[in-house]
A and B are shown apart, each in its own frame.
Chain A
Amino acid sequence: MKSIINYFKEIYFGLKSLVTGMRVTGHYITHPKEIITQQYPENRDTLKMFERFRGEVVLLHNENNEHRCTGCSACEIACPNGTIEIINKKVDIDGRKVKALDTFVYHLQMCTMCGLCIPACPTDAIKMANTFEHAVFDRSKLTKVLNKPGSKLMDGVK
């Protein structure tokens, strides 16, 4: 007798649990306002990344096409993946040969976005930009030169 009662109990509680589950999903199908999907390429204009988001390394330039990179290679050393290559040149300043930045090569394809280069920079020349659409058809496009052509060191940065 007890087993028969248990049999029906099992059925009752089993069905009840199934209905409870269906109530949860039923709640969501009747509340389309709670949909969380974002229509990505359409919402590009309103999409705003958090300011700390690490998308890629950029070298900051001001309106006079000047940057703050002295070519000290601290970021190159801090980078665990060999993402950054600093190529330096010698320039004449007041008759003295001074080391200066020639090309700031950045290999985006090797970057793990760890952000170690940013605190390593003594002159705050680089920062992490919020861009995230890095897809390209040609891999060589991922290797970037970060200093703009003709740019030079900002005055007073050592």
Chain B
Amino acid sequence: MNALYDFSYLTGSIHEWLSERVSPHAVTIVEMILVGISFMLLFAILGIVLVYAERKVSAFFQQRLGPMRVGKWGTAQTIADVIKLLLKEPLMNKEADKFLFNLAPFVIMIAAFMAIAALPFAKGLQALDFDIGILYVAAVSSLGVIGILLAGWSSNNKYSLIGAMRSGAQILSYELSVALSLLTIVVLTGSLQLSVIVESQADGWWIFKGHIPAFIAFIIFLIASTAETNRGPFDIAEAESELTAGFHTEYSGLKFAFFFLAEFANMFIVSAIGATVFLGGWMPLHIGSWEGFNAVMDFIPPIFWFFGKVSFLIFMMMWFRWTFPRLRIDQLLTLEWKYLLPINLVNIVVMAFLGLMGWHF
């Protein structure tokens, strides 16, 4: 691994530089603020880039051009949209529960923030590296649904309420599948720590090393994580042809932007988790004994590998969304409880057997 690409030198030198100048407490606080600011920046960039990407990708799927007016190829379109959303009047239903109505978007955003903090972007570039990393991500991403439920209830709108109910049932059940499909890989790694999982894929990604069960787990993860982010074809909580806009019908302006941003942030988070666990995180693609090929792959910085894999997964999710019709609520639950969960459980057993016999690479 190319030492040049290790971010721990950079972070380490920042730490040293600070320690020489200020007291240890201040170092902690300054570093916290730095990390916070960088994640906020990441969020803003993610939102702008992903919204633009979604619009362009959907346009090309639909034989359209997409945004073309603001900036070259419409690149500044999202920024214009952000400005428009910021300038919009925040409307609120008269009978709405004001406190909860205002709180809901923040709950969603905070949950996304907490989850994104644990992602390993590259070697040495990870804010929180718990030894229970996957469990932590599963835990905080389950908080997001509270925001949806609160938004739906406090809007005092029946459409919103139905959307919130659907979303609750959906996310609660699909969390199981996401966690179980990730556990299938954990069986092989023996650790929940995200950095360890990435390191364990230095000689090959789990999706290749884990044979068919890993591939099945990957497919299940793709389906279940799409459902967990409330995206089409599982967007029954929004379902604009049935519930107008579902849980965020009554939101406008900045608060709506928060929901919008959280959707894309969640999409990024689940893709990043999928990339980390199944596709080797920031690890480059290595093929057995092809020394020359491996050296070339090593030359590409890990951060590009990470974002490349994440973009691939995000593109897959967009492809799903712009191709398939929406499921009905009972079909959604049937899919989870009758198909994904049983297959997942059997898959884990098979994987455990593979691991026990040492049949994986």
Given A29-B57, A32-B60, verify A39-B319 contact (CB < 8 Å): no
In the assembled complex, which residues on chain B have CB atoms less than 8 Å from the CB atom of A22? 319-320, 323
A21 at the interface (CB under 8 A from B): yes
* Number of CB contacts from chain A to chain B under 8 A: 35
A36 at the interface (CB under 8 A from B): yes
**Interface residue A26 (Cβ < 8 Å from any Cβ of B):** yes
Residue-wise, chain A 24-46 has the 8 Å CB interface mask toward B (1 for contact) of 11101100101111010000000
Interface status of B241 (Cβ within 8 A of chain A): no
The answer to whether B339 and A11 have CB atoms under 8 Å apart is yes
Q: Say whether A18 faces chain B, with CB atoms less than 8 Å apart.
A: yes
Contact B63 A21 (CB under 8 A): no
The reply to whether B61 and A25 form a contact with Cβ atoms under 8 Å apart is yes
How many residues on chain A are close to B (CB under 8 Å)? Answer: 15
Closest Cβ–Cβ distance, residue B333 to chain A (whole Å): 16
Contact between B64 and A26, CB atoms less than 8 A apart? no
Provided the pairs A21-B323, A22-B323 are in contact, do residues A28 and B68 lie with their beta carbons within 8 angstroms? no
For chain B, the bracket of interface size reads 10 to 19
- For residue B324, CB closer than 8 A to chain A, the reply is yes
- Tell me whether B63 and A26 are in contact (CB under 8 A): no
B65 on interface, CB distance cutoff 8 Å: yes
B57 touches A25 (CB 8 A): no
A9: shortest Cβ distance to chain B, in Å? 13
Structural contact, A28 and B323, CB atoms closer than 8 A = no
Whether A26 contacts B319 by the Cβ 8 Å rule is yes
**Residue in B57, B63, B319, B323 whose beta carbon sits within 8 Å of that of A34 in the complex:** B63
- B60 and A35 form a contact (CB under 8 A): yes
For B322, the chain A residues whose CB sits under 8 A away are 25
Query: Contact mask A103-117 → B, CB, 8 Å, 1/0?
Result: 000000000000000
Q: Name the B residues within 8 Å of A11 (CB-CB).
A: 339
Measured between beta carbons, the chain A residues less than 8 angstroms from B324 are 18, 21
With A and B bound together, what is the CA distance between A11 and B320 in angstroms? 17
Segment 47-80 of B: residues with Cβ below 8 Å from A: 57, 59-65, 68
